[in-house]
Amino acid sequence: MKTDLTIESIDEASLRLKGVVKKTPLQYNKRLSNQYKAHVYLKREDLQDVRSYKIRGAYNLMSTLTLDEKKSGVVCASAGNHAQGVALSSSLLKIRSVIFMPSITPLQKINKVKHFGGRFITIKLVGQTYDEASHAAKEFCKKNHMVFVHPFDDLRTIAGQGTVGKEIYDQKTASLDYVLCPVGGGGLISGVSSYLKAKDSKVKIIAVEAEGAPTLFEALKNKKIVDLNKVDTFVDGTAVKTLGKIPFEIAITKVFKSILVAEGKVSTTMIELYQNEGIVTEPAGALSVAALEEIKGEIKGKHVVCIISGGNNDILRYPEIMERSLVYLGLKHYFLIEFAQKPGQLKKFVNKVLGPTDDIVRFEYMKKTSKERGPALIGIELQRKKDLKRLLDKMNKEGIRYTKLESSDPLYSYLI
């Protein structure tokens, strides 16, 4: 497989994309700069018309197809953002496309794909993950003799994504020290790193991945591509089981390291960006900012760019985002508590165990296992993380039988 991506091919892609994509701003962020004692800039790809960088790679690939290939039409698989890029490209280039998306794709993304593609697209919802949708898309593509528009494992796609790196280099006002880039299949980071490392070999490219989908992290650790057994689909924009072959060959020589970020930390970062800067990100879009905490010792006094890769987030997901954030911050906890089956037990719990600022946010009796005792699922929200010790001490003092549910426990996923 050809893996040589040249800086010239990225420059050529930039010319093709002129008038199609926005040159998104590279914004200095005062809050993050003060917090981490560094010079932090945000590359705002969430401000594209399709609200992510994916239009760059999709359009660059599709615009280079032969006339016969354009007549045959294209197929793609996507968790949402690449689909929007292909849809808009289909409309602009008047190319018929069939778009495969996981059945769990947020409705907001599906509706956006329809909006951008109009009469030129057909959507098929298949499988629970990107990889399942991708398998179905490739089978369909082969059967119908169409062109597959790969979201990350094609040099034309990667060159298009690499124009993000070109813009960062052109927009910078000082030397770059670090660029933090979210990673799923690896198209963005391979394009960005290829351009920036060619221009300045000293810049450090840091990959950022969700803990539940560490494709590049495992590949770098094992020095080969690793197929993940499963992925957490919360950070849906990067929920890929297998890194691209071309991105791996590029990343292994150009990426400084990969950082894993907890999904709860991503949720907290999304909330902070919205509350402080009014920036609406999707989970993948917040990954790079979420990783700053992990390297705060390294970046003091340095110039750091965080790529905000996308802002396609369904408002219906915010309850889950708030939930994950509170659990991550240690402010929300769940317990299975065995209450004796007699009057006054809940009152005793409230009066003798809960503190003045503790709040019961969920209460649900589970199936009784005996006549004497019955478990209840109780969710408690604390005002401060350190209040948990006091809560546990009081439950132990009162002789209350309980099980604290941890987010890593399979029972937690089943009950919460």
Which structural domains are found in the chain, ordered by start?
7-52+155-323 (3.40.50.1100), 54-148 (3.40.50.1100), 330-415 (3.30.70.260)
Contact 230, 240 (CB under 8 A): no
Residue 353: pLDDT band (50, 70, 90) is very high
C-alpha distances in Å from residue 356, one per residue of 155, 280, 367: 60, 34, 30
For residue 315, the 8-state DSSP code is G
| pLDDT for residue 1 is more than 60 | no
SS3 of residue 320 by DSSP:
helix
DSSP-derived secondary structure for 178-197: EEEEE-SSSHHHHHHHHHHH
| pLDDT for residue 2 is more than 60 | no
In DSSP terms, which residues pair with 42 in a beta bridge?
27, 306
Q: What is the reported pLDDT for 372?
A: 59
Nearest to 209 by CA among 284, 106, 281, 270: 284
- Predicted confidence (pLDDT) per residue in 258-270, tens digit: 999 999 999 999 9
Residue 10: pLDDT band (50, 70, 90) is very high
In DSSP terms, which residues pair with 305 in a beta bridge?
41, 179
Q: What is the reported pLDDT for 92?
A: 97
| 108 vs 374, more confident | 108
Contact 162, 194 (CB under 8 A): yes
Q: How far, in whole angstroms, is CA 280 from its chain's centroid?
A: 13
Residue 409: pLDDT band (50, 70, 90) is confident
| pLDDT for residue 281 is more than 70 | yes
Q: What is the reported pLDDT for 48?
A: 97
Q: What is the reported pLDDT for 3?
A: 58
Q: What is the reported pLDDT for 357?
A: 94
Side chain identity at 31, as an amino acid letter? R
In DSSP terms, which residues pair with 82 in a beta bridge?
none
C-alpha distances in Å from residue 257, one per residue of 110, 242, 314, 388, 413: 33, 18, 31, 35, 31
Ramachandran region of residue 94, left (φ > 0), alpha (ψ -120 to 50) or beta? left
| pLDDT for residue 87 is more than 80 | yes
Q: Any idea which of 143-157, 179-193, 284-298, 354-368 has the lowest mean pLDDT?
A: 354-368
Q: What is the reported pLDDT for 415?
A: 83
Task: Give me the chain's average pLDDT, please.
Answer: 94
| pLDDT for residue 403 is more than 90 | yes
Q: What is the reported pLDDT for 107?
A: 82
Contact 258, 183 (CB under 8 A): yes
| pLDDT for residue 249 is more than 90 | yes
Nearest to 293 by CA among 29, 37, 43, 46: 37
The label of the residue with tokens 């708030």 reads 322
pLDDT over 90 percentage in the chain: 85
The residues near 232 (Cβ < 8 Å, ≥ 6 apart) are 210, 211, 212, 213, 239, 263
Nearest to 156 by CA among 11, 55, 58, 254: 58
* Number of residues assigned to the chain: 416
| pLDDT for residue 368 is more than 60 | no
Cα–Cα distance between 111 and 117 in angstroms, integer?
10
Q: Rounded to the nearest 5°, which phi and psi values hold at 90?
A: -60, -45
- Predicted confidence (pLDDT) per residue in 102-136, tens digit: 998 878 889 999 999 999 999 999 998 888 999 99
Cα–Cα distance between 194 and 20 in angstroms, integer?
22
Contact 235, 308 (CB under 8 A): no
Q: Which secondary-structure segment (H or E) carries 163?
A: helix 155-171
Q: What is the reported pLDDT for 47?
A: 98
Q: In this structure, how many other beta carbons lie within 10 angstroms of the beta carbon of residue 173? A: 9
Q: Any idea which of 128-132, 222-226, 295-299 has the lowest mean pLDDT?
A: 128-132
C-alpha distances in Å from residue 5, one per residue of 66, 192, 193: 21, 11, 10
| pLDDT for residue 369 is more than 60 | no
- Predicted confidence (pLDDT) per residue in 301-328, tens digit: 999 999 999 999 888 899 999 999 999 9
Q: What is the reported pLDDT for 371?
A: 56
Query: The whole model's pTM is what?
Result: 0.92
| 104 vs 145, more confident | 145
Residue 74: pLDDT band (50, 70, 90) is very high
Enzyme catalytic residues: 54, 309
